[in-house]
Copies of this chain bind each other. A is one copy, B any other.
Amino acid sequence: GGGPAMSPTEPEPPAKRAKMAVSAAAGAKWKFMSAWFCPYAQRAWIALNHHRVPFEKIEALTLKQAPGEALKDVKGYEKHPLLLKHHPSGLVPTIVDSEEAQPAVYDSLTCVQFAEDLAASGAVDGRSPLLPVEPVQRARARMWTDWVDKNLCAPYYSVLVPKEDERRRAGFDKLLHGMRTFQASIKGPFFLGEELSMVDIAAIPWAYRIFSCGIIDLYRGPAFALDSEELAPLLRWLEACLALDSVSATLADKQRLVDTYKRYADGTAESKVADAVRAGKTANDHE
């Protein structure tokens, strides 16, 4: 596909617009295209909440659940026309201003940084900065954020997606190693200390899925169990994160979330993440 579009595309015809079923959040400056089950979208959601950015949340990926079909057996989803209009591949999170007058912002960590920039510019009455002020510490926070992406988020899919036990095991070992490294560097209560940061936001959605929802144990069995005693510092960190209103407001129902991962776990997921992992690549910011 092309690069990020440099200018907004043509407005949708009225017929398509009528189907958009967006909730009426009067006065919201930003349209936030999300999906309740998507951990990448959840990152953006937490950052928007944290900085009190006024947004209208639009569920832009609708699971194709037939009448009588259980959620866990749903295969694909439909994409909202507003999403397809503003993201070349129709991925969430995607953020656009309410007038759709400017080009869209997407990619989860770019959306987090966008919320931070809105707060830094004074455009919103944000809370504590998500990155330290001092340049070296700022750089370190960015490095840890990228590190979380590669060492905690990507291996999660390497445990769930492959069909071969050996590959699952290698993914699990990488995930466990990542967890040990991460928790050894937590300053507490949050990763960088007293305040929530971009590093925490990068990790929270996967930690919630692993520890609060127990998705790995559930789909991969006791051989892939995590030792809550060994990982106690990580669990304390997660508890501190989940206690924040900006985070708790983004937590999907556990059982519903568990059900959606059946698509990954039984190899039927029709998603870019699953395709990438099956092809032997690293999971990344795909949906």
Q: Once bound together, how far apart are the Cα atoms of A118 and B142, in whole Å?
A: 15
User: Is A6 in contact with chain B by the CB < 8 A criterion?
Assistant: yes
Nearest Cβ distance between residue A155 and chain B, in whole angstroms? Answer: 14
Known: A133-B121, A144-B4, A280-B280. A139 touches B110 (CB 8 A): yes
Q: Interface readout for A122-155 with B: 1 if CB under 8 Å, 0 if not? A: 0100000000011110111011101100010000
Nearest Cβ distance between residue A167 and chain B, in whole angstroms? Answer: 14
Is B3 a contact partner of A151 (Cβ separation < 8 A)? yes
User: Is A226 in contact with chain B by the CB < 8 A criterion?
Assistant: no
Please indicate the chain B residues that have their CB under 8 angstroms from the CB of A142 in the complex: 107, 110, 113
Known: A113-B142, A143-B105, A146-B107. A181 touches B136 (CB 8 A): no
Q: How many copies of this chain are found per oligomer?
A: 2
User: Is A2 in contact with chain B by the CB < 8 A criterion?
Assistant: yes
Q: Once bound together, how far apart are the Cα atoms of A4 and B142, in whole Å?
A: 10
Q: Once bound together, how far apart are the Cα atoms of A263 and B111, in whole Å?
A: 39
Is A105 a contact partner of B282 (Cβ separation < 8 A)? no
Q: Once bound together, how far apart are the Cα atoms of A139 and B115, in whole Å?
A: 10
Is B3 a contact partner of A136 (Cβ separation < 8 A)? no
User: Is A103 in contact with chain B by the CB < 8 A criterion?
Assistant: yes
| Number of A residues, CB within 8 Å of B | 37
Given contacts A3-B147, A3-B151, 8 further A-B contacts (CB under 8 A): A3-B182, A4-B140, A6-B185, A106-B143, A113-B142, A114-B135, A118-B135, A281-B282
Please indicate the chain B residues that have their CB under 8 angstroms from the CB of A195 in the complex: none
Cβ-neighbour of A135 out of B123, B146, B280 (below 8 A): B123
User: Is A117 in contact with chain B by the CB < 8 A criterion?
Assistant: yes
Is A103 a contact partner of B3 (Cβ separation < 8 A)? no
Q: Once bound together, how far apart are the Cα atoms of A139 and B105, in whole Å?
A: 6
> Closest B-chain residue to A106, C-beta based?
B143
Nearest Cβ distance between residue A176 and chain B, in whole angstroms? Answer: 14
Q: Once bound together, how far apart are the Cα atoms of A134 and B281, in whole Å?
A: 35
Is A139 a contact partner of B114 (Cβ separation < 8 A)? yes
Is A136 a contact partner of B281 (Cβ separation < 8 A)? no
Q: Once bound together, how far apart are the Cα atoms of A139 and B182, in whole Å?
A: 27
User: Among the interface residues A97, A140, A151, A280, which one has the most CB atoms of the partner chain B within 10 A?
Assistant: A140
Please indicate the chain B residues that have their CB under 8 angstroms from the CB of A103 in the complex: 136, 140
Nearest Cβ distance between residue A205 and chain B, in whole angstroms? Answer: 19
Cβ-neighbour of A4 out of B102, B106, B133, B147 (below 8 A): B147
